[in-house]
Homo-oligomer: A and B are copies of this chain.
Amino acid sequence: MSKVSARTYSRYSLEAISLLGKLIRAARKERKMTTQEVADRAGISRGLLQRIEKGNSKCELGATFEVATIVGVKLFDAEVTTLTKHIRQTEDKLTLLPKSVRKKVKIADDDF
């Protein structure tokens, strides 16, 4: 017992997670797949799939994305090839950016 972390997330994040879960659930039913079927294909337990569809924020990222892939919910609205290309582009951008972010160390913080 004794809750320590108690992380709380923004409304947008929670809504996004909720939507992803609902999309997965809808896609699964449209494809007429049972929860057990999808869980097996994803290599996870049925209980975890239920939590994912329910929009539980504490699920594993990999499990969630895998389930989404299985039922046909595209992340980033992109195919695999496009995805790979997108990764390359982001990597290129990354190399151009400074490797380390340096904060203004001046007298006063000009944050707002």
* A contact residues vs B (CB 8 Å cutoff): 7-20, 22-23, 25-26, 28-30, 32-34, 43-44, 56-66, 68-69, 75-77, 80, 83-84, 86-87, 90-91, 93-94, 97-98, 101, 103
Contact = CB atoms under 8 A, between A and B. Distances in A.
12 contacts: A10-B66, A10-B69, A13-B68, A14-B62, A15-B84, A17-B65, A20-B75, A26-B97, A29-B101, A33-B101, A58-B60, A60-B60
A32 B69 contact: no
A29 to B, nearest CB: 4
A43 to B, nearest CB: 5
Contacts of A76: 16, 19
